């Protein structure tokens, strides 16, 4: 943000001359000093420069000053020229830069004391048998999601609630709209000054869920441990947590007593950090040489009485002008020797001169010219960049009855000629101020550039009055749409302003009806949207991947046209265009679900366009990983015995210990066996017999023959992530069997029990 400051300067240029005779002063030259107000450690780059308007010491006339002698002394650097205008010395200083470290500045969500809120949650599923629970949670050691199975604690079927445990969740930390403050809402620290390595998130336990056991921030995550399904109330009583039903989120059909629950916890937090903030200091003095007036001198002054303020805002009408001219004799006291005062006024360059006279024997005289008028058509035809100036030449002459002696001879009159400029503009400007107390200082903050249609802050709240109170803020915003009032407000520019720099003005008025003003430039840019694309879902072959339009409407009033949005998808390596599957069109949608039939590298591009035709594109390259097959493994006892009490059948329990290395689940199990009928130790000549095709993870096998049996399990995965059914088939599900498992681990030998001998008879 840029900040500009200035005092109101009346648009009058005084050019002094002696019309009839010139003379020199006999008095010696003296030196005067004015102190710069001391300002130390002003924070922020907006204080890198400051404008000063210094009043002259009492008794020193502007005409007595040697302008070439005006100098600044101090540790600051003067930017530009030092000028003397309308009785004030004006200069711009560059601050002495330093750096200040601020510890523990606080970061909040877009406004002061507005904390961040997160709702970490865990997915808890009851199995179809109704007595077991699967708990999905975060494992800090591996920085990954895991699941564990627990038996139900209650005796109900189905179980009413999961067992009492402490679970862990780790959603990402949120730093969107992060805004930094140094102890108050007014003391905002810009993000560029924050030391990134010092940023820490701080948990607010008193505003978070009471059943959160431990919260820490690590690897950009909020790691929280909390108890389910019960918690302790402040009174000491036990309460049961609410949960959300997750049946609709199941990735495969639910059977039996299967159901899903989501238990969540509320975590409130904010940020702290250190900031390295630039500071700027100001001090010093301004000195100049002047010659005290000792011989008769005519001092002239012209004031634009009307229009007020000057410049004035054009109202598509003639502008009446009133000019007040004052003549004041200095270092002369013989009023009886005054013959007359003569005042002349004309538009500069015109031969039409207006004359007024005063025959009073006075040492000072003032006359007002009230008959000037600037025609409307002249203003309209002569306006350049919204501004029009009309210059006037004014002269005051005092004539003496008797010649007056001076060091260089006698004089019979003195004349002073001046110019005054009346301005007409389409922007509000400050009214003139008069002497007495201090004028208020206007400080205006606006962005260097904005987009057409983008709302931005016009901020005048930093303005101040050295000896009073600001009672009115008047903003000139040109063609901006929304009016700005008070200390600050938001507005925006229409499309027609794109490509131009516009001026915003601020006039502040204090409780003594004195005013100060300033202006700032804003570059209005074309309202181009910011294209962005993200890839959501599981980036694995045959899974649903969603291309998401993450573009941003920087210009609120010229938003993107959804019908103009276009996606394109391209295979870079590994796959081909035929491996990219989706339904419908890639145009006019904000999200597009896609299935990639083969692993590889792909590129997606998005094109967005707003309602006034400005566009932007973005692209992203991503990898689709292979779908890994399951790893089959079975547990088979090495031997079993026929049981006479069970029809001479053996009891063999077979367990499936298979797993999916990429977190799919086993959707189908086919159990088979073959019997070594010729007892030669070779199963290759035997046929497989189906034992179970019911997707059982445990099978009871009851062979009735003595000998060896080989067991085989074929497992087929089901997708544990969403897909698009129309683009996948059964052949896309990965399968594997136990053929590669060690043979001794798959063979069970069935024996007869030894006879029992009883010799007691």
The DSSP line for 639-701 is EEEEEGGGTTEE-EEEEE--B-TTS-EEEEEEEEEEE-TT-SS--TTS--EEEE-S--SEEEE
317, two tokens: 């009408």
Taking residues 86-101, report their average pLDDT.
87
- Spatial distance between the Cα atoms of 737 and 741, rounded to a whole number of angstroms: 9
Overall pTM > 0.85: no
Question: Strand 88-94 relative to strand 83-85: parallel, antiparallel, unpaired?
Answer: antiparallel
pLDDT tens for each residue of 461-497: 989 988 888 999 999 998 999 999 999 999 999 999 9
Domain spans of the chain?
103-276, 442-525, 533-624, 634-751
Q: Match 């019960």 to its residue by tokens.
A: 230
- Spatial distance between the Cα atoms of 335 and 364, rounded to a whole number of angstroms: 9
Taking residues 64-75, report their average pLDDT.
89
Indicate the pLDDT class of residue 689, thresholds 50, 70 and 90. Answer: very high
Q: What is the average pLDDT score of the chain? A: 88
pLDDT at res. 758: 60
Does 533-624 match 634-751 in CATH topology? yes
Taking residues 588-605, report their average pLDDT.
97
DSSP 331: S
- Spatial distance between the Cα atoms of 743 and 749, rounded to a whole number of angstroms: 12
Q: From the CB of residue 411, how many other CB atoms can be counted at a distance below 10 Å? A: 18
Q: Reply yes or no: is the peptide bond before residue 729 cis, omega within 30 of 0.
A: no
* DSSP SS3 for 276: strand
607 vs 181, 302, 528, 595, 717, CA distance in Å?
Answer: 38, 62, 12, 21, 38
- Spatial distance between the Cα atoms of 118 and 270, rounded to a whole number of angstroms: 11
The residue among 325, 322, 321 whose CA lies nearest residue 341 is: 325
pLDDT at res. 219: 86
| pLDDT above 70: percentage of residues in the chain | 93
564: left (phi > 0), else alpha (psi -120 to 50), else beta? Answer: alpha
Indicate the pLDDT class of residue 25, thresholds 50, 70 and 90. Answer: very low
Q: 533-624 architecture in CATH?
A: Sandwich (2.60)
pLDDT tens for each residue of 120-130: 998 999 999 99
Rounded to 5°, the CA angle 458-525-530 comes to 100
Taking residues 14-43, report their average pLDDT.
60
In this model, does residue 761 exceed pLDDT 80?
Answer: no
pLDDT at res. 6: 35
* DSSP SS3 for 249: helix
- Spatial distance between the Cα atoms of 377 and 274, rounded to a whole number of angstroms: 60
512 vs 187, 310, 625, CA distance in Å?
Answer: 29, 19, 74
φ, ψ dihedrals at 433, nearest 5°:
-115, 155
Indicate the pLDDT class of residue 9, thresholds 50, 70 and 90. Answer: very low
In this model, does residue 41 exceed pLDDT 70?
Answer: yes
* DSSP SS3 for 394: strand
Q: From the CB of residue 634, how many other CB atoms can be counted at a distance below 10 Å? A: 21
76, two tokens: 């600051």
pLDDT at res. 757: 61
Q: By the 8 A CB rule, do 99 and 280 touch?
A: no
Taking residues 437-449, report their average pLDDT.
85
Listed range (147-156, 201-210, 406-415, 538-547) with the worst mean pLDDT: 406-415
pLDDT at res. 468: 85
In this model, does residue 84 exceed pLDDT 70?
Answer: yes
Taking residues 663-673, report their average pLDDT.
94
* Backbone Cα Rg of the chain: 45
395 vs 11, 44, 294, 300, CA distance in Å?
Answer: 17, 48, 23, 8
Task: Collect all residues with Cβ–Cβ distance below 8 Å to 45 and sequence separation of at least 6.
Answer: 278
In this model, does residue 22 exceed pLDDT 50?
Answer: no
pLDDT at res. 234: 65
The residue among 113, 111, 68, 76 whose CA lies nearest residue 94 is: 76
- Spatial distance between the Cα atoms of 159 and 129, rounded to a whole number of angstroms: 9
In this model, does residue 21 exceed pLDDT 70?
Answer: no
Cβ burial, residue 308 (10 Å; 0-12/13-18/19+): exposed
Q: 634-751 architecture in CATH?
A: Sandwich (2.60)
Q: By the 8 A CB rule, do 363 and 328 touch?
A: yes
- Spatial distance between the Cα atoms of 698 and 67, rounded to a whole number of angstroms: 104
Q: Reply yes or no: is the peptide bond before residue 307 cis, omega within 30 of 0.
A: yes
Task: Collect all residues with Cβ–Cβ distance below 8 Å to 192 and sequence separation of at least 6.
Answer: none
Taking residues 445-471, report their average pLDDT.
90
What DSSP element (H or E) covers 378?
Answer: helix 376-382
442-525 folds as: Immunoglobulin-like (2.60.40)
Residue 312 bridge partners (DSSP): 424
Cβ burial, residue 37 (10 Å; 0-12/13-18/19+): exposed
**SS3 readout for 535-565:** EEECCECCCEEEEEECCECCCCCCCECHHHC
């Amino acid at each position: 943000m840029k900040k500009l400051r200035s005092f109101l300067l009346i648009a009058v240029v005084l050019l002094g001359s002696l019309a009839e005779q010139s003379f020199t002063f006999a008095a010696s030259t003296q030196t005067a000093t004015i102190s710069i107000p001391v300002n130390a450690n002003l924070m922020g780059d907006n204080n890198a420069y400051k404008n000063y308007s210094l009043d002259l010491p009492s008794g020193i006339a502007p005409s007595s000053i040697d302008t070439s002698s005006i100098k600044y002394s101090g540790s600051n650097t003067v930017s530009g020229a030092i000028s003397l205008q309308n009785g004030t010395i004006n200069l711009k200083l560059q601050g002495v830069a330093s750096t200040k470290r601020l510890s523990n500045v606080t970061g909040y969500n877009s406004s002061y004391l507005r904390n961040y809120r997160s709702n970490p949650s865990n997915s808890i599923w009851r199995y179809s048998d109704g007595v077991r629970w699967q708990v999905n949670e975060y494992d800090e050691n591996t920085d990954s999601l895991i699941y564990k199975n627990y038996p139900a604690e209650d005796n109900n079927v189905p179980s009413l609630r999961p067992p009492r445990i402490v679970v862990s969740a780790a959603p990402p930390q949120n730093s969107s709209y992060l805004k930094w403050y140094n102890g108050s809402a007014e003391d905002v620290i810009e993000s560029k000054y924050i030391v990134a390595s010092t940023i820490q998130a701080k948990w607010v336990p008193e505003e978070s869920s009471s059943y959160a056991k431990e919260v820490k921030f690590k690897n950009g995550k909020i790691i929280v441990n909390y108890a389910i399904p019960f918690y302790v109330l402040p009174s000491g009583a036990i309460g049961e947590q609410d949960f959300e039903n997750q049946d609709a989120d199941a990735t495969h059909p639910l059977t039996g007593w299967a159901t899903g629950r989501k238990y969540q916890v509320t975590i409130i937090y904010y940020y702290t950090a250190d900031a390295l903030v630039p500071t700027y200091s100001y001090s010093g003095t301004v000195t100049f040489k002047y010659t005290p007036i000792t011989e008769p001198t005519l001092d002239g002054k012209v004031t634009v009485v009307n229009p007020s303020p000057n410049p004035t805002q054009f109202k598509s009408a003639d502008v009446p002008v009133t000019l007040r001219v004052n003549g004041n004799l200095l270092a002369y006291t013989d009023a009886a020797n005054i013959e007359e005062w003569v005042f002349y006024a004309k538009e500069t360059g015109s031969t039409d001169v207006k004359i007024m006279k005063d025959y009073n024997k006075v040492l000072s005289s003032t006359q007002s010219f009230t008959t000037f008028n600037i025609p409307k058509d002249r203003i309209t035809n002569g306006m350049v960049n919204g501004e029009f100036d009309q210059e006037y030449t004014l002269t005051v002459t005092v004539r003496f009855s008797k010649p007056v002696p001076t060091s260089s001879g006698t004089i019979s009159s003195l004349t002073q000629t001046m110019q005054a400029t009346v301005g007409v503009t389409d922007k509000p400007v400050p009214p003139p101020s008069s002497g007495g107390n201090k004028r208020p200082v206007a400080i205006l903050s606006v962005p260097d550039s904005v987009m057409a249609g983008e709302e931005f802050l016009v901020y005048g709240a930093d303005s101040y009055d050295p000896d009073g109170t600001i009672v009115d803020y008047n903003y000139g915003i040109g063609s901006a749409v929304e009016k700005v009032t008070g200390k600050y407000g938001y507005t925006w520019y229409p499309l027609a302003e794109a490509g131009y720099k516009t001026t915003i003005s601020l006039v502040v008025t204090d409780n003594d009806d004195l005013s100060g003003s300033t202006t700032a430039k804003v570059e209005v840019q074309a309202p181009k949207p910011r294209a962005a694309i993200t890839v959501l879902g599981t980036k694995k072959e045959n899974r649903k991947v969603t291309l998401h339009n993450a573009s941003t409407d920087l210009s609120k009033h010229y938003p993107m046209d959804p019908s103009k949005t276009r996606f394109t998808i391209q295979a870079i390596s590994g796959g081909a265009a035929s491996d990219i599957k989706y339904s419908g069109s890639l145009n006019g949608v904000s999200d597009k679900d896609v299935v990639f039939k083969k692993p590889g590298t792909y590129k997606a591009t998005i094109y967005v366009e707003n309602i006034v035709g400005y566009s932007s594109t973005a692209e992203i390259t991503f990898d689709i990983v292979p779908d890994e097959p399951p790893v089959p493994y079975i547990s088979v006892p090495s031997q079993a015995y026929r049981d006479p009490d069970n029809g001479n059948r053996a009891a063999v329990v077979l367990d499936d210990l298979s797993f999916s290395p990429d977190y799919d689940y086993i959707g189908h199990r086919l159990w088979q066996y073959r019997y070594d009928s010729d007892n030669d130790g070779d199963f290759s000549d035997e046929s497989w017999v189906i034992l179970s095709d019911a997707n059982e993870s445990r099978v009871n096998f009851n062979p009735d023959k003595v000998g060896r049996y080989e067991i085989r399990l074929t497992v087929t995965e089901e997708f544990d992530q969403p897909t698009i059914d129309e683009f996948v088939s059964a052949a896309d599900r990965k399968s594997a069997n136990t053929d590669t498992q060690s043979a001794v681990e798959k063979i069970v030998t069935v024996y007869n029990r030894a006879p029992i001998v009883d010799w007691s008879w």
